[in-house]
Copies of this chain bind each other. A is one copy, B any other.
């Protein structure tokens, strides 16, 4: 029986959708990517709201099963397709626990300051961003990234094999570079240490990386 490929709903440049995209490629799971437009209101349609009541991306529909929240999707992909592609979490129990801990820390502590930096510079297009808020968010972010760096011991966040921890952090750090390209002068890239720059290169060297690069960032 021919299986219907999984449907993957994303928005170009959503770091949470990017995480799932990297995971889908890493797991070599066949999928149909559907790009939703934030501006066109694609996330507010009743059809999409039935899939994700939060009206956010990403979401997936796999064989009639709808799921949202990127962290839960990553775990589902591993659970549902254990034999497909490469594992999303380290196989050794302690390494897996550290990878999960860091992915959790990224969601709880790295997302808020990066979200503030993006909102203040990129999204709102404020003529006058809140300089003090930019400074404190930058400091918080620097402290969080340093903490993660302390745990790193290898090319990737946990050892020599890429994992969902890398897929969780990478799209967020990539946004710092994006801000510098779109709004020069903020020098957000100063927050990316030499060690993290090397790590970014390692992620960007993955064979499937280019396929997941946000389409509108190429334009």
Contact = CB atoms under 8 A, between A and B. Distances in A.
Interface of A: 53, 65, 67-69, 71-73, 75-76, 79-80, 93-94, 96-98, 100-101, 104-105, 107-108, 147, 150
A170 to B, nearest CB: 19
Contact of A67 (B53, B71, B75, B97): B97
Given A72-B104, A76-B100, 8 more contacts: A67-B98, A69-B101, A69-B108, A72-B101, A76-B93, A79-B97, A104-B107, A107-B108
Quick one: copies of this chain in the complex? 2
A147 B107 contact: no
A57 B100 CA distance: 17
A13 to B, nearest CB: 20
A107 B70 CA distance: 13
Nearest to A101: B72
Nearest to A67: B97
Given A107-B108, A108-B107, A147-B53, A100 B72 contact: yes
A198 to B, nearest CB: 23
A20 B67 CA distance: 26
Contacts of A108: 69, 107-108
Nearest to A94: B65
